[in-house]
Structure 1
Amino acid sequence: MKNIFLGMICCLLLFCSCTATSTAYHVKGELKDSTFDGRTIYIVQRDNRVKIDSTRIEGNRFSFNGKIDTAVCCEVSVSKNAYAFFILENGNITLDLYGHIFPQGSPMNEQISYINRTTDSLQNIFTIKLDSLIDAYFRGKGIEPPQNRNGEIPSEILYEQLPAIAAQKNFVEDSICREILSRHNNDALGQYLIMYSYIYPSDVDKQIDILNHIGPWLKSRKNIQKKIKTVKALKNTAVGQPYIDIKGRDINGNDIALSDFFGRGNYVLMDMWASWCIPCKQEIPNLAYLHDKYKDKGLTVVGIFVWDKEKNMKRAVEKEKISWPQIFDVQNNVRKNYGVEGIPHIILFAPDGTILKRNLRGKSMITDVEYILQNKR
């Protein structure tokens, strides 16, 4: 599998050596039917939401024509299902409103499409390898592998075999990202890789190193500046670091803080969520399982209600039948202190407040938490 990964790197890097020569842009796309004929649509810059150009849809088609001095990351959106992300640069650009991330034509957009196809292939290889490990695990025990695994990974694979193949995948993604950024550390393709691509490394130290080597134009972008602050917060709250307190109010309006739950001998599982967040609600059964099973066996589950109105917290808790304590993030410090960019975001702390795991989700969260509780790591 490593040879396949290395072959991908070579192909991608050879592909990414092209340069632009056009002096004007022509952006076009098609829709599946005439539902949106007559609608005005816009090219919108992604980092500041500025409208750069507009046109009307006619005969299921649209086109934009103009000139731009500096290429920028943009989007065109017709509906919740028909939209595309791309780099607006001079050249011919064709948008795929239903594939979303596969623009074609101009050099940077061809590179975006190839990068995204490569990451899809990497994920497919990773999934096939993981499935084969799981199948071998069950057959080795004389059990037919389940058809619907619901995201469950046996602990032997999760802790003993998965890290090796995940490391190979991460190595390839990191190599691709670093090589492209060495050529595009001060332009829109670099911004795309850092802000919007799946190959940007998750390792905080690698992110800091990358951000330390970007050029002045990239550093001037508002979303890059926010990214730099977020990464610094991630560094301060990485695994092995102590917790940063979150103070707020409970569902009855009383003062409460995350620090109230440490020093009692229990591990603390902190869930950042909101009433409008569907993935957050999908985690509630998993959290409820852990709460019900381990609330008297060394685990405290605590909810942090974020990016929502305080009045919605009590309603959501009652509607979802949540029985563990909640803290409304009064000062909205979650992003600033923990570098959280999306929810749900679930963190496991040791009894003394040391961060043990971040980004826990689904059935693998249950496996992780139970493994730590049983082995008292």
Structure 2
Amino acid sequence: ELVGIYILHKINKLFANEVGLYRDDGLGILRSHTPSQAERVSKNLISIFKDLGLRITIEHSLKIVNFLDVNLNLKNNTYRPYAKPNNITQYVHVNSNHPQSVIKAIAPSINRRLSNISSNEDQFNNASQDYQEALNKAGYNYTLKFEPKQKSENRRKRTRNIIWFNPPFSKQVCTSVGKKFLQLIDKHFPIDNKLHKVFNRNNVKVSYSCMKNMGAIINTHNKSILQKDNKPKIRECNCRQTNECPLAGKCLQKSIIYQANVITAQESKAYIGISDTEFKKRWYNHQSSFRLEHKKKDTELSKYIWNLKEKRVDYTIEWTVLKQTCSYSNTTKKCLLCIWEKYYIITADKTKILNSRTELISKCRHANKFLVCNV
């Protein structure tokens, strides 16, 4: 998208700001241009793309053009839906494992889209047959009908900070998770509660997320198995003395949730943390916070260690790995590392855990590496 915006900035002057891009497709308008002038613009476009290290195919002086899913006809000033000749239209089956709200919205949304990209009812009827057959095969009892676009009123929209709860949906689950969740909001945050302004049905919404289909699950499983077989051997420890390794010879592991057990003569406490990079680097940071007084408030673990040192209590620390998983992915928009850390903190023994409850609402910091300013 950023590349597309930059390219638009470069070519806008050639089309007097009447040009658009969608991924690898573009459409521009040349008004009152002769074929020779259009050819000159084409050469300038090729030159601009070449300077950017890209190649482009151009067709100019067209009166009829297919752009994305629309056929635009300047000869008779009409437009209609378009699909590639070899394209097979398929829709989610009415009995598939999707929320009912999603299933109900599919057919009306298709009808609305076809109506919006049809200049009149004749164009709609000529193009809707394939889409109607696809809906029938998917089990929908819905007849596509042309609906002229209505002018929407400019209503004032009040901005509101919405907190979304997105539980995964499955037809095998009989419990209405969304309903139970909203009932908990009503129960624990009544009108007389000081947090009711933040947590109420107007500010907290429920929207189910769809589970992976069987094909995606099988592909993910096969990919993980094949990657294990083809994965080269990686050095797991670089300690000079193996018996001194904090993780028993595996201190170079990455993307892990670890636990530090602090053992004294009177009690045992546990601290749960994560390491996106090599654990050895995280361990060095912990050791530094144990030695340097100006770092003693870096973590709940360092606070506890300094408290023991001030009381002159002897202690030992045992490090273990709870789970190894992947951190934030820019594809899935999820950070399993942070999710699993919160899970282990929630399920840990409350009398022994050192982590504070505020860590459960902390924002994932692993997504920052994908920000433009950090690239």
The answer, yes or no, to whether TM exceeds 0.5 is no
The structure with the greater share of residues assigned to strand is 1
The structure with the largest alpha-carbon Rg is 2
Larger relative contact order (Cα-Cα within 8 Å, sequence gap ≥ 6): 1
